[in-house]
Amino acid sequence: MDKEFINSYNDYVDNGNAWFNLNPLSKLCICLCIGLTAVVVRRWQYGFSLCLLYCIAALLIGIFPRFIKNYFAISIILFFLTIIVRQFSMKEPDFTPFINVFGWQWYKEPFIAALNIVSYIMGCSGALLIFFQTTEMRDIMLALENRGVTHVASYIMLSSMQSVIDMRKSAETILESQKARGIETDGNIMVRMKAFFPILGPILLSAMSGTEEKAIAMDARAFSHEGGHTYLRVLRPISKVEYALDALAILCLIASIVWKVLSLTGVL
């Protein structure tokens, strides 16, 4: 019998990275507070500075390739859509001409307003993206259970998230099998739609059968028992350093709110 393997379930979860090993609730507090400062401040200088900080943080904790792939795609789409909508929606005779694009006159004020909107959305979404890319959903639910959330509520949230992932994997598997049978699944949007709609039936059926299997497994593991439950994963308790980081993040959020109120009242 491998005692080392058995004892590993009694040890704290170790992901080999200081940020990854932080308690999920501590990471959520830090990321949420920092992201909300961008929503409060709503200045493009601050928002884009946070975006640069997120990229540096992603590089240091080792998730830069997948972080920048998702973050860059979201940012580019949001940037151009917001700027174009603002240029069309904001029309005032006293606006300052900014740049002329193929005969289309752009104005400075709508451009700055669009930058402010994009910066605070990116500033908030970047923090949340780092959190979810460095925290497993099961660890979040386990941390919430340790804080008093019922196992039923945590399972419902975890199962909802996992169902989306399972359905996406099932769709990819079915599309690959269709491709192996010679059915065209790649091409323009119409070709993809024609290939996707026929697989909705098998996806729903597999989801329903998966639900039945989960119900049987839950019953076999005495899920409905009201007593204490055991866990295969043990999270590290929140340390004093984590409490200090959480407090610092909360102070940053409070400071941004105070600065915003003072700036709106004309004190700053």
DSSP 2-47: -HHHHHGGGSBP--SSTTTTS-HHHHHHHHHHHHHHHHHH--HHHH
**Radius of gyration of the CA atoms of the chain, in A:** 24
- State the CB neighbour count (10 A cutoff) for residue 223: 14
Q: What per-residue confidence (pLDDT) applies to 216?
A: 73
Q: What is the pLDDT of residue 247?
A: 95
DSSP state of 197: G
Residue 82: per-residue pLDDT: 85
Can you give the pTM of this predicted structure?
A: 0.75
Give the up-direction half-sphere exposure of residue 121: CA atoms within 13 A in the CB hemisphere: 14
Alpha carbons 132 and 140: distance in angstroms, whole number: 10
The pLDDT score that the predictor gives to residue 246 is 93
pLDDT of residue 26: 92
60-108 residue pLDDT tens: 988 999 898 888 887 888 888 888 888 777 766 677 777 777 777 777 7
CA dihedral over 23, 24, 25, 29, signed as positive or negative: positive
pLDDT-derived band at 184, boundaries 50, 70, 90: low
Phi-psi region of 89 (alpha: psi -120 to 50; beta: other; left: phi over 0): alpha
- pLDDT at position 8: 58
- Burial of residue 159, with CB atoms counted within 10 A of its CB: 0-12 exposed, 13-18 middle, 19 or more buried: middle
The pLDDT of residue 244: 94
Which range of 46-60, 127-141, 201-215 scores highest in mean pLDDT? It is 46-60
User: 158: which 2 tokens?
Assistant: 């975890």
Contact 32, 127 (CB under 8 A): yes
Strands (DSSP E) along 104-261, which ranges?
104-107
Q: 100 - beta bridge partners?
A: 105
Residue 223 confidence (pLDDT) above 60 = yes
Name the band, by pLDDT with cuts 50, 70 and 90, for residue 7: low
Q: How far apart are CA 133 and CA 67, in angstroms?
A: 8
CB–CB of 105/82 below 8 Å?
no
Please tell me which residue, 112 or 258, carries the higher pLDDT value.
258
Question: Is 115's pLDDT higher than 90?
Answer: no
